Chains A and B, each alone.
Chain A
C-alpha cells in the first residue's frame, strides 16, 4: 500500500480494536433508531428535503424487492405475443392498405388548404392589455401617457431597428427580447434549442402578433434545419410551427412543443370564454420548404 496510508498500515499490522466488530454491529443496529428519530423530529425545510430523499430511497427499495419477488412468481410474458398479432375473429380484415394511406394524405392536404389546425394547447388564458402593456408617462410634466412598454417576452426580427424614440408607441425592451426557444419533439422525445423565425399567432390579440409578443399558447415558427427532417417529396424542411407551453416571462426561457402530427390538421385554437377576444383562426398552410 502507498507509503502514507498510515491508518490502513496500522490496521494491517496490528489488527483492530478488540471490540471493533461488536461496536460496528451495534452502531449499525442503532442507525435504524436514529433514522426514525430524525424522521419524526425534523421540522421545516430540512424535513421536506429529508422526506423527499427518503421517499426516493423507499421507492428504489420497493422496486428491488419487487424484482426479487418476480423471480419467484410466474409472470405473463409480453414478448411472446408479436406486434400486430390479431385475434382469430379479426383475421379476415386487413390492416391499413396503401390506398387508404394515399387517401388520407389527400384529405390532409385539403384540410390544410382550408387552414384548420390542431395544436397541443387548444385553450389558453387571454392576456389583457394592462397585463401585457405597461403605461409609460412622458412629457415635461410626465402627464402624457401614450407610450406603452411590453412586459412580456417578445421576438423582434433580425433586421429590426427601432423607430425614433420620440415616435415609437410600443417599447420592446432589449432585456425581454429572445431569439431562441427550447422546442420539444414528442415523438423523438428530445428537446432542441432552435432559433425563432417569427411569431405566427398570438391567441390573445392580433396586436400582440404584430408586436411579436410571446406568451403561453403563442404559435411560433422555428428553424428546424438542425433536425434534418425531410418531406416525402424529398424536400428538406427548415421551418416548423411550435406552440409555447410555459410562461416565458416567469421562467426566463421559451419552451415550446411541436405538435405530434407533421402538419396541422384542424382548427381548434381558441381562447377561453371569459374574454371578449374570439377568433376564427386561419393559418397559412405551408411549412417553409427548400429544394434539396
Chain B
C-alpha cells in the first residue's frame, strides 16, 4: 500500500499545484512549457521524497557499532542496504526519465503530442515506483521498529544483566529501576532489550535487561538471543551474570555454568559479578557439595558471588553497590590511562593553605547538621506525620488543624466560634484591648457632655413652631409605625408607594381628622376642587350599551379588536397564532433584516465563493 499511496499523493499534488488549463490555440511554447512543468514537478517531488528517505535512514557505517550490530541482527544488513540501494536506483531512473521526456517535448508541435509525452513520462515514473513496492514496505517496517528501539547510550555507565531465560533478570531490573518489564513464568518473556535508569552516588546509571541466552554455538542463535550477545559484545558495562540457585528456570546449575564458560570471552575487560538469584527458595548453603564448589570456584577466581532474592529484596542493594563501585573504579582507571585525563589533571589544583601559626582551626559543623547527619545514617524514625496518621486511620481520618492552635485556655481549642452576631461581624470586634478602649471612649464622651457640646441651641420658638414640632414628631412616629407594620405584613411583596394610588376624599379627611387636623368645611380645598375637575368623575359607559358612533373609521379603529386578537376563538388558537408570527419573523431576525421588504445585501461579492479555481460542479452556486 505504501507505493500506491506514494504515487497517488504525488500525482494528486501535481494535479493541484500546477496550472490546469491549456488550450489548443495557445502558442506552442506556452503549451510546451505547461506540460514540461508538470513533468518536472512530478520528478521533483519524487526526487525529494526519495532523497529524504535515503538521508533519514541511518547509514550502518556511521552509527555506533553497537547499534550497527543490533540493526544487523534485527533487520539483516544486506537486505537493508539492498533496499536502500534500490530506492537510490529508482530515484536516478526517475530523474533520467524526466530529462529524456523534457528533451523530447521540445520537439512537440501540437498539444496532443505534448500531452501524450507528458502522460508517457508520468506513467513511466509511476511504474518505476510501483516496482519498488517491496523495498518501500520493508523500509517502512524497519522504520517503525527502529523508532521503537529503546535508547541505550553506549558510552555511559551501564549494568548489563545476562543469563538463562527465567532466572530473574527482569525482576531484578524491576526492583532496581522504574522500568516496568513483564515478568512471567514462561521462558523468553523478554524478547528485546529493555532499559531502566537508577541513581547511585549522585550519578545516573543505565541498567540493561537482555533476553535469556541458551547454550548453543553462535551460528545457531536466533534473533532474540543475538540481541543479548550484541549488547554484551559492544557495551562497556558491568556484567551481572544471573544464576538460578533453585533451578526453577528449568536448567541445572551445571548447564548454567556451561553457558557462563562459553560466553566468558565476552566478559573480557568488564567488571563481572555473579548473582545467585532465588535464594529465598534455596540458599547456596543448602545446595549439594559439587554445586557449592561451583560457587566457591567462582569466588576463588575473584568474581564476587552475591546471593539475592528479588522476591524478598535481600541482597539486591548489595549487588547494586558492588557492581556500581566496580564499574566506577574500572572507568576511572581507564580514563586515567587515557590521554585526555592529563588535560584535566593539569588544570586541577588543590590549594592547601599554609599554616601561619600554631592555632588549631578545625572545621566548624553546627550541632543541628551533625544531628541530622547522624539521623540520616541511623535512619531514625521521623516524627509522626499527619500522613502517617491518615494511613493509620484510613477511612476514619478527619483533618483537624485546630489541635495545633496555641491558646491560653487549652480546652477552648475545639470550640465553635460563631461568625456573626446581631448583625455584626464578630471579627470586627476582636481586639485584645477592646474593653480598655471602650472605657476610654466613655470617659471622653462624659467629658464632652459635661463641657456642653451636645446641648441644643436656645432659640426661642413661638407656640406655633413648637406645636408644629410636636405634630411633626407625632407624624414621624406614626409613619414609622406604619412602615414597620406594613413590613411585618408584606403579604404582597413590593408595593407601589402610597402616593401613586388614588386616595379618596373621604379617607383623606378621616385620616387627617384622626391626626387632629380640622377637616370640616373642606369643599374649597385644593384636593376637592381638583377632584371635581378630573375626568374620574365622569362615569364610563359599559361597552355593550353603546350608541352608534358618528364617524365610522375613527370609532371603528377604537372599537375593533387589535389585529392579533381578531378572529381568534380561544387561547389555544391565540397561542398558535403568536407562534406562527414568531416563526415568520425568525429568518428575518437571523439575517438582521429590518423587515420583509429589506433587501439590503451586506456582502455582494463574498470572497469564499469567488476566489480559487473553478473545480468541477455547476455555476449555479459557484
Contacts and interface: CB of A to CB of B under 8 A. Distances in A.
A280 interface: no
B109 A134 contact: yes
Contact of A252 (B104, B182, B191, B615): B104
Interface string A1-33: 111110001000000000000000000000000
B148 A250 contact: no
Contacts of B121: 252
A175 B107 contact: yes
Given A43-B616, A249-B113, A250-B120, A2 B192 contact: yes
A173 interface: yes
Nearest to A134: B109
A45 interface: yes
Contacts of B46: none
A96 B390 CA distance: 107
A79 interface: no
A151 B109 contact: yes
A249 B182 CA distance: 66
A3 B150 contact: yes
B239 interface: no
A250 B112 contact: yes
Interface residues of A, number: 21
A176 B103 CA distance: 9
B116 A250 contact: yes
Nearest to B101: A252
A250 B117 CA distance: 5
B107 A176 contact: yes
Of A44, A247, A249, the most chain B CB neighbours within 10 A belong to A249
A45 to B, nearest CB: 7
B616 A44 contact: yes
A268 interface: no
A251 to B, nearest CB: 5
A173 B112 CA distance: 20
A253 interface: yes
B103 A43 contact: no
B414 interface: no
B109 A175 contact: no
A247 B115 CA distance: 13
B562 interface: no
A2 B148 contact: yes
A175 B179 contact: no
Contacts of A44: 615-616
A5 B147 CA distance: 11
A252 B150 contact: no
B538 to A, nearest CB: 76
Contacts of A249: 104, 107, 113
Contact of B120 (A5, A9, A173, A252): A252
B100 interface: yes
A43 B617 contact: yes
Contacts of B616: 43-45
Interface in A79-134: 134
A3 B194 contact: yes
The 6 closest A-B CB pairs, nearest first, are A250-B116, A44-B616, A3-B150, A251-B120, A3-B194, A175-B103
Interface of B: 8, 15, 100-101, 103-104, 106-107, 109, 112-113, 116-117, 120-121, 148-150, 179-182, 191-195, 615-617
11 contacts: A4-B148, A5-B148, A45-B616, A134-B109, A151-B107, A175-B106, A176-B104, A247-B116, A249-B104, A250-B113, A252-B121
